[in-house]
C-alpha cells in the first residue's frame, strides 16, 4: 500500500540567488549570524533591530513567500516559554503582579524575556532561510567540508534519514487505530480517557521498538553497500568569490553591530 504522507523536506525548491549560493558559505554565514545575535546584550534593542535588517534582503533573495518564512519561524515560540519564569525571578522593582499567585514581574526580568524572544526569533528565521534554500544533503556535505567531525555529521545524516521513517511509521499506526475506532448509534464510544492515554502510550512504545528494529535493518543495508560514514562528493567546486564576499560583508556587519551595542 503506497502511503502519501504529510512529511515534507524543509527544502523548498526554487531558482533564486540564495538557493544557488554555495552551501558552505551559507552555513558559515548563518552560524556567524546566530552567534552575533546570541552575543547581543540584554535590552540592546537598536542592535537587535540592526541585526534583523539583513534578514530582509536574504529573504527577498530566496524568493520564498514571506508567509512561509514567517510561519516556520514560529517554531521559536515554544522555546521562549522556557524563558518566561525569568520575568518573575530577576530582582528589581515590580512592574505588575500576577493575581492570586502574587508573583512580581520585574522590569529587568521582562527585558530579559523580550530579548530572548527577539534573539530566538532572529536565529530561527536565519536557520529557516538556510534550510529552506539548501537541500539537506548539501547541508550535510557542507558540514563535512567545514571539517565538522565525521561521527557528528554521520549522526545528523542518519537522524535526518530516519525522521521520515519514524514519521511514516507513526502515521501508519495512527491510521490503523483510527480505522478501528468505531461507534454504535446510541451508545457511548471511545472508552475512558485513561484507557485512550494508555493505548497512545503503548503506540509510542511500539513505535520506538519498530523504529529501532527498522533502523538496524537500514544500517545493515547501508553497511552492505560500503557505508563508512563519509559523505561522498562527485566534485567539490571552489567557493565563488562574490558569495564569499557577501558572507564576509554580513559577518563584518554583525561584528560592527556588536561593537556599536557595547560602545
Partner 1 sequence: MHALEPRVAVAAAVETVDLRFTYPDGVEALRGVNLTVGTGEKVALLGPNGAGKSTFLLHLNGILRGRGEVRILGVPLTDATLRQIRAQVGLVFDQPDDQLFSPTVLDDVAYGPLYLGLPKEEVLERARRALEAVGMAGFEDRMPHHLSLGQKKRVAIATVLSMDPAVLVLDEPTASLSPAARRELIRLLQSLPQTMIVSTHDIPLVREAFPRTVIMDGGLVVADGPTDKILADRDLLTAHGLEAF
Give the three-class secondary structure for 211.
helix
Q: Is 194 in the site for partner 1 (CB under 8 A)?
A: no
Q: Is 15 in the site for partner 1 (CB under 8 A)?
A: no
Beta bridge partners of 105: 96
Which span (11-19, 66-74, 183-191, 217-225) binds partner 1, by CB under 8 A? 183-191
Beta bridge partners of 94: 106
Our CB check for partner 1 shows the closer of 102 and 201 to be 201
| 105 DSSP 8-state letter | E
Q: Is 68 in the site for partner 1 (CB under 8 A)?
A: no
C-alpha 127/C-alpha 34 separation (Å) is 8
Q: Report the 10 Å Cβ neighbour count for 7.
A: 14
219 φ/ψ angles, rounded to the nearest 5 degrees: -65, -40
Q: Is 229 in the site for partner 1 (CB under 8 A)?
A: no
Q: Which of 209, 220, 221, 245 binds partner 1 (CB under 8 A)?
A: 209
Which x/- pattern over 123-162 shows residues binding partner 1 (rule: CB under 8 A)? ----------------------------------------
Which span (71-79, 103-111, 146-154, 207-215) binds partner 1, by CB under 8 A? 207-215
Closest contact distance (angstroms) between CB of 201 and partner 1 is 10
C-alpha 148/C-alpha 243 separation (Å) is 21
From the list 86, 88, 145, 154, the residue with the least C-alpha distance to 120 is 86
Which span (40-48, 100-108, 170-178, 245-253) binds partner 1, by CB under 8 A? 170-178
Closest contact distance (angstroms) between CB of 165 and partner 1 is 13
Contact predicate 247/28, CB 8 Å: yes
Closest contact distance (angstroms) between CB of 207 and partner 1 is 8
Q: Is 228 in the site for partner 1 (CB under 8 A)?
A: no
Q: Is 199 in the site for partner 1 (CB under 8 A)?
A: yes
250 membership: H or E segment, kind and range: helix 241-262
Our CB check for partner 1 shows the closer of 35 and 208 to be 208
Q: Is 217 in the site for partner 1 (CB under 8 A)?
A: no
Residues 105, 107, 113: CA angle, nearest 5 degrees: 75
Q: Report the 10 Å Cβ neighbour count for 23.
A: 20
C-alpha 28/C-alpha 26 separation (Å) is 6
Q: Give first-to-last CA distance, the chain, whole Å.
A: 64
Which span (68-76, 80-88, 177-185, 221-229) binds partner 1, by CB under 8 A? 177-185
Q: Is 193 in the site for partner 1 (CB under 8 A)?
A: no
Binding site for partner 1 (CB under 8 A): 1-2, 4, 6, 172-173, 175-185, 187-191, 195, 199, 202-203, 205-206, 209-210, 213
Amino acid at each position: 500500500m503506497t502511503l502519501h504522507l504529510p512529511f515534507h523536506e524543509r527544502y523548498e525548491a526554487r531558482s533564486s540567488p540564495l538557493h544557488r549560493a554555495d552551501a558552505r558559505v551559507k552555513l558559515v554565514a548563518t552560524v556567524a549570524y546566530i552567534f552575533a545575535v546570541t552575543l547581543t546584550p540584554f535590552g540592546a534593542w537598536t542592535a537587535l533591530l540592526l541585526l534583523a535588517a539583513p534578514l530582509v534582503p536574504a529573504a527577498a533573495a530566496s524568493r520564498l513567500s514571506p508567509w512561509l518564512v514567517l510561519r516556520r519561524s514560529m517554531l521559536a515560540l515554544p522555546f521562549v516559554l522556557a524563558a518566561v519564569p525569568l520575568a518573575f525571578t530577576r530582582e528589581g522593582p515590580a512592574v505588575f503582579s500576577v493575581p492570586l499567585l502574587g508573583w512580581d514581574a520585574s522590569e529587568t526580568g521582562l527585558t530579559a524575556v523580550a530579548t530572548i524572544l527577539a534573539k530566538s526569533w532572529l536565529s530561527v528565521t536565519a536557520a529557516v532561510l538556510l534550510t529552506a534554500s539548501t537541500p539537506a544533503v548539501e547541508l550535510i556535505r557542507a558540514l563535512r567540508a567545514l571539517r565538522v567531525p565525521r561521527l557528528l555529521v554521520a549522526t545528523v545524516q542518519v537522524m535526518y534519514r530516519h525522521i521520515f521513517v519514524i514519521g511514516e511509521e507513526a502515521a501508519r499506526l495512527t491510521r490503523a487505530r483510527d480505522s478501528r475506532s468505531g461507534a454504535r448509534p446510541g451508545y457511548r464510544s471511545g472508552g475512558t480517557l485513561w484507557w485512550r492515554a494508555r493505548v497512545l502510550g503503548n503506540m509510542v512504545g511500539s513505535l520506538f521498538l519498530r523504529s529501532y528494529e527498522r533502523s538496524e535493518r537500514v544500517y545493515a543495508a547501508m553497511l552492505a553497500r560500503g557505508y563508512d560514514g563519509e559523505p561522498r562528493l562527485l566534485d567539490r567546486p571552489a567557493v565563488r568569490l562574490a558569495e564569499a564576499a557577501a558572507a564576509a560583508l554580513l559577518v563584518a556587519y554583525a561584528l560592527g553591530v556588536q561593537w556599536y551595542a557595547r560602545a
